[in-house]
Every structure is written in C-alpha cells, then in structure tokens.
Structure 1
Amino acid sequence: MATQFELIRQQQKDSWNKISSGWKKWDGMTMDFLKPMGDEIIRVLQPSGGDIVLDIAAGTGEPGLTIAQMLNGGKVYITDIAEKMVEISRENALRRGIDNVEALTCDVSELPFPDNTFDAISCRFGFMFFPDMELAAREMNRVLKPGGRMATSVWNVSEKNFWVTAIMGSINKNIQMPSPVPGAPGMFRCAADGFMTDLLLKTGFKNISETEIYGKLDCGNAEGYWNFMNEVAGPVAAALSNVDNDIKVKIKAEVIHSIDQKYPEGSTMVDSNAFIIYAEK
C-alpha cells in the first residue's frame, strides 16, 4: 500500500505535469516575476569556475540555466519531479545555446547521485511542495560536498503575498475546500519565523542566514492576472477544474474587482514576498 508521502508525491507530479503547458506559455512573465528570488539565490551561492551545481525543483530551468552560463568548466544538473517540466527546461537550454547542463526527472527524496557530489545546490520554491521536507533536506545535505553551499527560497506569510491571496481568498469563500492535512504541501507552509532555519539545522546544515526579498507580478491588468493564475498556479487550477460555471464566473468577478480596487491605475503589479535561505554543509 502506498504511504501518505507517496500519494502526495504522485499528486504533486500529476499536478505539475498537468499545468506544464501553462508554464511554457507564460514562461517569460513567470521568470521575470521570480527573477529577484533567483538572483538572490545566485548572489549567496556565488557559483563560478568548475563548480558542479544541482538545481532542484527547477521547473522550466531557472535558476539553473543562468547559473550554467556563469561557469567555466562547470556543470549544472537541472531536476524536477515532473517530466513535462523537465522537457521544457531542455528546450530552453537548447534555445539559449547552453550545453553545460543535464536535465533529468527525479524525486528530491531519492536523488540519483553519490554522496559528496555537488559544490552547490539551488532550490527556488520547492520546499513548500515536498511531502517530507526533512528527508528532502537530508538528501540535499548528503549529495553536497563538505563545505558545499545550498540556497533555497520559500514564500513569506499570506499577508505579504497578494498575488496568491487575491484569487485563493475568493476560491476559499465560494468553494467548500477540503481541510488540508497537517503538514501537507502548501504555499505558506514554510513561512513561520525560524521554520527553515530549524529544519536545516536539524538535517545537518550550518552557517544559516535568511534574506527577505520583495517582488512584483506584472500582469498588465486584472484580466491578465486571472488568466495567468488559472494556467500557472496548481492550487488554483485544481480548485476550479470541476466548479460549476456560475460559481467560476462569480469568483472571477470578485477577483477582477479585488485587483482593480488595489491597483486602480490599471497597471497590475501584484505584490509578493519571499525568504531566501542560505546554508552550508
């Protein structure tokens, strides 16, 4: 019988594969949105020279592809649990002429690499979705070389992430959502003060530091925000997939109104906030 973690892992894989076409369609806007967090990960990792780097939960390839371009004789392994996302990362590498990367589908809880392989690990917005975060952190620690660096980003509290709550608030108000299992994957699962530091200390990391980063999701207008979130945000797509059309129309009207109220000038730059956590083995 499959364990709870295995069931969640399969759900995560299916969900990301299902919305991979949306990520491909909106890749430019999504990468612009997430760039401040990726830039900070790169800044603290300082990849260079012949570094061997692992990018976990890389989705369509960032920040691994940017890191690869910074290396001279080094290599980046780009990984994700969803094979369709990995395919997009390969396409992006080919399109950009980046040849010092290898993209492969794998699970963070069972990394297919020997101990002490990597100089650095990046993981942009992966931890919140890992079924067993402690196991994931231990696997990262295992494959890092002694003294190796790891940097990850997680979303801050919901109050600082209107880009999520603008739509999920209306969904939760209009749809009877099942109560989440304690510890289940979720956008703000890692937002509590000290949560990531405690997790990393527990799993063998040291010299841990956190940086708060602000961002903006540039959707153009409220309609653009609605379309983007429907095609890129897994929880949104899942919640609205089997909803009666009248309810969906009502939710959309509420979301458009909420966005227009907060950004009355018509230029929709939706607020986001995240932590970048750096640690060493």
Structure 2
Amino acid sequence: MEQQLEQIREQQKASWNKFSAGWKKWDTITMDFLRPMGHEIIRLLNPKNDELILDVAAGTGEPGLTIASMLTNGKVIITDLADDMLAIARENAAKRGIMNIETRTCDVCELPFPDNTFDAISCRFGFMFFPDMLLAAKEMVRVLKPGGRIATAVWNVPKKNFWVTAIMGTINKNMELPVPLQGAPGMFRCAEDGFISALFMQVGLKNISQKEITGQLNCQTTDAYWNMMTEVGAPIVAALSKADEAMKEKIKGEVYLTVNERYPDGNIMIDSSALVIYGEK
C-alpha cells in the first residue's frame, strides 16, 4: 500500500479506536438509527442457515450480530480495523447470547482469508472510510464464493442528511478547515448516484442493484444530538479541537438554533438517507 494510503489507514485506525467509548455510550441510539440500512442489507443477502458470512467494517457488531442470530448452523466473521470497536461487538454478542461469531481485526484491503471463502458479505457504511475503495472491493470479491452475494450501504447526498450537515455545515461556515488529502475518507465520498454500482461493475460483480433507504436519528432533544455528535463524530471533534472556547460556544449556539428551527416542537427526530447497493459474484 502506498505511503499516502497507509497514512490514511493509520489515521482511521487511531480515530475509530479513540472514539470507541463514545460509540459504546450511544450504541442504542446509533444502532436504532442505522437499523433500516442493516435490515435492507440482510433482506438482500437472504442468509441461509449453514452459511459462512463476512461482515466488513462492522464496528460495534452490526449487522453481523443480527445475521448470526438468524443462522442455525452458520457463522459470521465480524471484522474491523479498530480492535476497540470489535471489543464492544464481542460484549454485545455476549449480552445477546450469540455464540456463532468470530471477530478479526484486519484491513479490508488485506483480508486474511483464502479465496472463495464466504457465501455472502455485508458492509454497512464502510466504503467511504477505505483508503483504496477499488482494492477493498477486489478483496471482498476475492474472498467471496462464486455465486456469492455482497451488499453495502453508503450515505446519500448531504441535502438528504441534515443530521450531519446541521453541525458540519455550521463548523465549515465558522472555521477555515484544512483541505483533506486527495481521496481521504469522508461521509459523502460515495454519495454520487451509481458510484458504488460502477465500482461493483468494475470488479466483475453482476445483477447489481441500488435502492434508497431512509431512517431517523431519534435524539429527542437538541442536547442529546449535540452530545452524541461531538462524542462519536471524529471529523466534528477534530474540527472543534482547533477552535477556542468562544468559537466552540458560537458554533454550538448556531447548531442549536439550526436544529430547533427545523424541529420547533422540540422532538429531535432527524431524517437520513442512504443508498444500499447489491451485487453477485
């Protein structure tokens, strides 16, 4: 892996490990928020009882844990770059009594599995964080059995994801942020219509489909929204760390105003939109 991509990967690993505590704290809200995309991935993969399934960039364990709970004789291998996130996945599995899972800390661009190993692969909100998306897709196809299925979710365009833009838009309006490295990970890196479908086609997948899936971030209060986003959002925390206290308070005030104007009744349930893309080897 070239030096720039290696640098991005190490930054990602450090970031996700650092924010694992925040993801654990807010796990109930975030998993509820992401569940519709996971359900669509599962519907498309249609797991069979005895299959071996790979969940890539699984973080705290979903949708891999739900898939594992559906298998009577099968197994799910849950992978992520950050071991601290996988530690939470193992805790979540234990709480739910799910035994047919294994976790592996690894890079999607160098999957430690033989060719043609898995019946299906899920990857919910991973692609936009991979340093080399083409290499990641090639690796997934390599370890997928002939006829195997793959499904992934990526965020749709910013205007359909106010839950991100409410805070990042305010930060960008108030601060001069450094320009990210070319090809660096980002929330909306894969949002262009047909982007992942074209990538899937490039690596030889067929029967490709794309569907928009909507969800809601149910924070209930603006305080909960602000606290959650500033504890799980690496780009948000990184940006705010460069602001003095006066600027942080200004940004916080403007975010509260923006969110409260959108939800004047005080019930903060923010719409989201993602694209779920499917293909077969």
TM-score of the pair, normalised by structure 2:
0.98
> What is the aligned partner in structure 2 of residue 131 from structure 1?
131
Distance 1:218 1:170 in 2: 21
> What one-letter code is carried by the residue in structure 1 that aligns with 2:216?
K
Counterparts of 1:167-178 in structure 2, within 5 Å, are: 167-178=167-178
Superposed displacement of residue 180, structure 1: 2.4
Q: Deviations over 1:138-184 (max 9, x none)?
A: 00000000000000000000000000000000111111111123322
> What is the aligned partner in structure 2 of residue 80 from structure 1?
80
Superposed displacement of residue 48, structure 1: 1.9
Q: Which runs of 4+ in 1 moved over 6 A?
A: none
> What is the aligned partner in structure 2 of residue 245 from structure 1?
245
In percent, how many aligned pairs have the same letter? Answer: 65
Structure 2 residue 213 is matched with structure 1 residue 213 = yes
Match of 2:246, SS state, is: helix
> What is the aligned partner in structure 2 of residue 147 from structure 1?
147
The aligned length equals: 281
> What is the aligned partner in structure 2 of residue 119 from structure 1?
119
Q: Deviations over 1:88-110 (max 9, x none)?
A: 10111111110000011100000
Q: Deviations over 1:122-151 (max 9, x none)?
A: 000000000000000000000000000000
Q: Deviations over 1:227-257 (max 9, x none)?
A: 0100111111111123211110000000000
Distance 1:146 1:48 in 2: 16
TM-score of the pair, normalised by structure 1:
0.98
Distance 1:193 1:97 in 2: 39
> What is the aligned partner in structure 2 of residue 100 from structure 1?
100
Distance 1:201 1:146 in 2: 15
> What is the aligned partner in structure 1 of residue 268 from structure 2?
268
Match of 1:93, SS state, is: helix
Distance 2:64 2:269 in 1: 26
Distance 1:192 1:105 in 2: 30
> What is the aligned partner in structure 1 of residue 29 from structure 2?
29
Match of 2:199, SS state, is: helix
Q: Deviations over 1:20-76 (max 9, x none)?
A: 000000000100000000000000000121010000000000000000000011000
Superposed displacement of residue 2, structure 1: 6.2
Match of 2:154, SS state, is: strand
Superposed displacement of residue 275, structure 1: 0.3
> What is the aligned partner in structure 2 of residue 196 from structure 1?
196
Distance 1:249 1:169 in 2: 15
